[in-house]
A and B are shown apart, each in its own frame.
Chain A
Amino acid sequence: MFSLYKKELRSYFFSPFAYVIAALFLLIFAIPFINGIANLSGTEYKFSFSNIFYNNFFYFIFLIPALTMRTFADERKSGTEVLLMTSPLNVFQIVAAKFLAVSTVFLMMIALTNFYPIITAMTGDVMISSLICGYTGFFLWGLVCISIGMLMSSFTESPIIAAILGEGAMIILLFIDNIKNSGLFQSLPKAAKIIGAFSTEERFENFSQGIMGLGDIIFFITATIMFLGFTIISIEKKRWSRG
């Protein structure tokens, strides 16, 4: 399993792929950061990293399908899925190795953004506790998105379609709150409550405000596990119905 993990990581870092995405990610981070500094005025020089995290996610979430689109679709397309499936590894191990590899890339990407708080800390004060909280939330929500992206990749043979499906899923994920708060669902409080249970945005908001709740952490982790479980089921299903 470790071999597969290593191979996956290599495929990201031995191609321009991870670097391009990381660069784009840093750009996305840089703009609100510069904006935050540019907007400083008055006597109190303050801006919030938590806010940056919160705002960034709405752009960042659309980068994740680009990371995950190849995980299974590419294997199927190039015929290498046979190699993995006829090796002694089981589907759980394959999914886990791939998930860990993407998560590692993601972790490296967010580690790079430490660059901005460090610069700030050189000349000012950074609230470390709220920063850690923001990062934790960012990471956990990212894991959920990665598991969804992998599920989408397991549906198809084409990485492009996998990416588009992934983007679709991300949009739904983002708009759950809007749907919940819409007039229609406000008139149906019970339905709104049910939809609200799936809302990730609210939970992420807690993190970005510096509140690390056990419930929120468990929510993100179970959501990740659930989507990875669906991925395993989807791959097994494909084996049975291949024609």
Chain B
Amino acid sequence: MIEIKNLTKYYGKNAAVRNITFSVLDNEILGFLGPNGAGKSTTMNIVTGYLPSTAGNVLIDGIDIAQEPSKAKRMIGYLPEIPPVYVDMKVKEYLLFCAGIKGIKRSERKAQVENAMDKLKVKDVENRLIRNLSKGYRQRVGFAQAILGDPKYLILDEPTVGLDPNQVIEVRNLIRSLKKDHTIILSSHILAEIQAVCERVVIISHGEVRAIDTIKNLEDSLGGALILLMKITGKKSDVTECIRNIDGVVNIIDASMEDEGVYTYKIEIKDDGVRKDIMTALVKNDFEIDEVSTEKPNLEEVFVKLTAQPPRKKGLKDLLDEYDDEAEASDEQNDGSKEDK
């Protein structure tokens, strides 16, 4: 079991992660989700012992990685975001070298390397210089390095980046098959991937844990809510206001521009009945509805909802945006009052 307790990391004055606590159970695949810059890589770097933490502990099977690093590191295979390969080495040579520094016995190295190359399907390039390999192959060589010596824990930072769709499926299957004897932390911002292989997810945002639960529970947490997708022609602020004022609308998750003045709105509603109210209200206000569809909320909505919450301190940019919106709104009011006169 990996236990992460109150982990905090400051870079200078900036907190990259704040008070993160969760644990990874044996033989599970834990998804580690978060938008870019949320602190995923930082957390993984600390868990693997690459970076020291400012506060808090990481216990690998009860061994503190800061206290007994060499013992703890033996149990971990790590694939960082950028595969740590030496471009001037050949694939097999590189893997043998990795087996060496991981302290695998000399007699077992060859077998281990062959096994890893078979699993990651890099056997056909074993005698090529890594410099000449494509990004996908490099990624797989990096992955092969992580599973050398059958470490109990595998920590994979975005393992499918740069792979083509077929390879992505292969790697996902591999990860699933590794679950039998390994415990895996898988970080990604590709939700489909997490959904495909993980049972439990940790969602972090702005360096804080937002949710730790199984995917099913997270989806259910939105209750019987529905997501309504509507393509509407009309001024965005007016439409938003009109929709917001209707009873039963929980939230407008997203509004993406389709065309000049045409937006697709993603609206979270309590139940199916609210749809009718929205449409009536929109028609009454002379907005043109081009398309309507509904869907059940999935991990994506949970993710958006959880990560869209602002951090404790708002950034300057957010404050400016808010100010702009307000200014725009008051301008419109003034225009309206002039016309009345």
Contacts and interface: CB of A to CB of B under 8 A. Distances in A.
Chain B CB within 10 A, most for which of A15, A79, A83, A241:
A83
Please name the 6 residue pairs, one residue from A and one from B, whose CB atoms are nearest each other, closest first. Answer: A3-B100, A83-B84, A243-B11, A79-B82, A88-B70, A87-B101
Interface in A67-81: 78-81
B140 interface: no
Given A2-B100, A240-B52, A82 B80 contact: yes
A1 B83 CA distance: 21
A1 B97 CA distance: 10
Nearest to B73: A88
Chain A interface main SS type: helix
A86 B52 contact: no
A227 B94 CA distance: 30
Chain B CB within 10 A, most for which of A2, A15, A87:
A87
B100 A86 contact: no
B12 A243 contact: yes
A83 B83 CA distance: 9
Interface string B78-121: 10101111111100010011111111000000000000000000
Contact of B80 (A11, A15, A79): A79
A85 B49 contact: yes
B76 interface: yes
A86 B101 CA distance: 10
A217 B288 CA distance: 90
B183 interface: no
Contact of B103 (A83, A85, A88): A88
Interface residues of B, number: 35
B50 interface: yes
Contacts of B93: 10
A21 to B, nearest CB: 16
B145 A83 contact: yes
A197 to B, nearest CB: 36
Contact of B102 (A6, A14, A88, A241): A88
B286 to A, nearest CB: 53
Given A3-B100, A83-B145, A88 B84 contact: no
Contacts of B85: 78, 80
Interface in A1-38: 1-4, 6-7, 10-11, 14-15
B69 interface: yes
B52 A11 contact: no
A11 B86 contact: yes
B74 interface: yes
A90 interface: yes
B88 A86 contact: no
Contacts of A242: 11, 51
A15 B88 contact: yes
A179 B273 CA distance: 89
B107 to A, nearest CB: 14
A243 B54 CA distance: 13
Contacts of B98: 83, 87
Contacts of B12: 241, 243
Contact of B78 (A86, A88, A240): A86
Nearest to A88: B70
Interface string A148-191: 00000000000000000000000000000000000000000000
A19 to B, nearest CB: 15
Contacts of A3: 96-97, 99-101
A82 B74 contact: no
Contact of A84 (B70, B88, B99, B101): B101
Contacts of B71: 88
A85 B70 CA distance: 10
B302 to A, nearest CB: 31
A78 B101 contact: no
B48 interface: yes
Interface string A127-155: 00000000000000000000000000000
A89 interface: yes
B100 A4 contact: yes
Contacts of B48: 82, 86
A242 B42 CA distance: 10
A81 B45 CA distance: 12
A194 B145 CA distance: 51
Given A11-B89, A88-B103, 7 more contacts: A4-B97, A84-B101, A86-B73, A87-B73, A88-B73, A239-B51, A243-B11
A73 to B, nearest CB: 14
A80 B73 CA distance: 16
Contacts of B88: 11, 14-15
Chain B CB within 10 A, most for which of A4, A79, A84:
A79
